[in-house]
């Protein structure tokens, strides 16, 4: 297959003809993470298929498992990682295959380098976690959605707040030091009910 033959050691975006694809500088990129139940990947898959968004190219990397199969429609081919144009405002990455064993860190670095080289403006990381990791204060909240933003992106989060989506618990005035204190308290009290990496979701 030409796409596989043309892939280099670093991460590239190639069109179906095997030509390099350059992203429009300053647009945002939606990246689903490997999380519980594959919810982030399924959400992006639902989004691009419902909207009928155009595929920009295939993301090729030697650190990812090379797979291909029948596409969702017509005579198209689906590959291990694809990039879609979301109506001219941003892009969505849709990984369908995992990094090769022992190559996850290298694949993440390649993705970071790719994002930087294309001048992506903002990055939206989608993730999911176990419902059992919620704190008592969250059980009465009808929304299971949460968001986190970096300081430069605070203004972008106003739309989320106006729609009633709460911010991820745990930042606060003390920053993420509060999480470390919560983890230590759970360990001392013997009440740790969830992995440490989701401590911020358990308040």
Q: Each residue of 24-45: pLDDT tens digit?
A: 998 999 999 888 888 999 999 9
Q: How far apart are the first and last CA of the chain?
A: 50
- Please say whether the beta carbons of 84 and 56 come within 8 A: yes
Q: What is the rounded distance in angstroms from the CA atom of residue 165 to the CA atom of residue 167?
A: 7
Q: What is the rounded distance in angstroms from the CA atom of residue 190 to the CA atom of residue 185?
A: 8
Q: Residues 133-191: pLDDT tens digits? A: 776 667 777 777 777 766 566 666 777 778 877 777 654 444 444 554 555 565 566 55
pTM of the predicted model as reported, rounded to 2 decimal places: 0.71
Mean pLDDT of the chain: 76
Positive or negative CA dihedral for 176, 192, 196, 45? negative
Query: pLDDT band at 83, cuts 50/70/90?
Result: very high
Using the structure block, give the residue that is written with the tokens 């590959």.
Answer: 79
Domains and CATH numbers, the chain: 2-126 (3.40.50.10900), 131-201 (no CATH)
Q: What is the rounded distance in angstroms from the CA atom of residue 34 to the CA atom of residue 6?
A: 26
């Amino acid at each position: 297959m030409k796409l596989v033959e043309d892939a280099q050691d670093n991460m590239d975006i190639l069109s179906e003809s095997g030509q390099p694809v350059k992203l429009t500088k300053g647009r945002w990129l939606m990246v689903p993470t490997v999380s519980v139940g594959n919810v982030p990947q399924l959400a992006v898959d639902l989004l691009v298929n419902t909207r009928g968004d155009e595929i920009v190219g295939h993301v090729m990397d030697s650190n990812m498992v090379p797979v291909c199969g029948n596409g969702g429609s017509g005579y198209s081919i689906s590959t291990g990682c694809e990039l879609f144009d979301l109506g001219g405002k941003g892009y969505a990455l849709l990984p369908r295959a995992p990094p090769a064993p022992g190559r996850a860190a290298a694949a993440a670095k390649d993705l970071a380098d790719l994002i930087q080289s294309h001048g992506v403006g903002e990055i939206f990381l989608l993730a999911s976690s176990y419902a059992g990791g919620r704190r008592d204060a969250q059980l009465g909240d009808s929304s299971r959605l949460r968001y986190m933003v970096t300081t430069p992106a605070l203004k972008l989060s106003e739309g989320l707040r106006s729609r009633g989506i709460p911010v991820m618990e745990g930042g606060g005035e003390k920053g993420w030091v509060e999480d470390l204190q919560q983890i230590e308290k759970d360990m001392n009290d013997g009440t740790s009910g969830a992995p440490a990496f989701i401590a911020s979701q358990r308040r």
